[in-house]
Structure 1
Amino acid sequence: MTGTLLLAPEWLGLSGLWQIDAKGKRKAVDAEDVGLSEELADRLEAWMDAFDAIYDEDEPAASDFGDAVERLAWEAEGAALTHAIARELGADWEIRHDLTGWKGKAAS
């Protein structure tokens, strides 16, 4: 399997992984769908649990972490996950991340 993956938390209950097709359309996928190890899948799930805990579906733009340190730690883990996913899947995959896209959902 090859392609483009985007790590982008946007909605509650999803893995935060999106496969991007040739036309740029996103399709939510799970870690198992793309062949990630159980260890990396567990790490991704824990990271998304932290997002789910602060995300307000009614007011996404108001969702935020308790303080800057907590937010920066979450963002750092997201960047680290992006690199770990890229290492695990190899050169046939393009791995990107957008850790702030959900903030703009309220403006849409």
Structure 2
Amino acid sequence: MPEKLARRVIRLFPDYGHRWPLWENSAAERPSKYTMEPADFGLSENLTHRLRAWYDVWDAENLYESGWSSAENYMTWKTEGASIAEQLREEVKASADVEYDEWNPRR
């Protein structure tokens, strides 16, 4: 009987230096480049636009320098991230699991 491959695990979180908040650890049976892009998973145009806008809001906040500009902006961003995670889970449910890691060094 063939060995069953482990499901892919896509991690969703923004980080400086990579404009797509998508990450995947390599596995022996499925090497990956770690820093992923929407095309790597065949994501919809709608989700691709949402991912870019969500990252851009996070990047514009200059978190390392001053933290979020307001609690309201942070909560709006956080809510959108959770919604994006749900859409991502739906779009990749046949082949991958999604972990949403809320990245926030300073509020």
Aligned to 2:77: 74
Partner amino acid for 1:53?
A: A
Contact preservation (8 Å) 1:9, 1:15: yes
TM-score (norm. length: structure 2): 0.78
| Structure 1: segments with no counterpart, 5+ residues | none
Contact preservation (8 Å) 1:4, 1:20: yes
Aligned to 2:4: none
Aligned to 1:15: 20
**1:51 to 2:54 alignment:** no
Paired residue secondary structure (1:18): strand
**1:29 to 2:36 alignment:** yes
TM-score (norm. length: structure 1): 0.77
Aligned to 1:103: 105
Partner amino acid for 1:98?
A: D
Higher fraction of helix = 1
Aligned to 2:10: 5
Partner amino acid for 1:55?
A: N
Paired residue secondary structure (1:103): coil
Which runs of at least 4 in structure 1 moved beyond 3 Å after TM superposition? none
Q: Over aligned residues, Cα RMSD in angstroms?
A: 2.4
Partner amino acid for 1:103?
A: P
Number of aligned residue pairs: give it: 97
Q: Whose Rg is larger?
A: 2
Instruction: State how far apart, in whole Å, the 2-side matches of 1:67 and 1:6 are.
Output: 26
Partner amino acid for 1:65?
A: W
Q: CA deviation at 1:64?
A: 2.2
Percent identity between the two aligned chains: 28
Q: Which of 42, 50, 54 matches 2:49?
A: 42
Moved more, 5-14 or 29-38: 5-14
Q: CA deviation at 1:20?
A: 2.2
Residues 55-76 of structure 1: per-residue CA shift (max 9 Å, x gap): 35xxx3x452211111011001
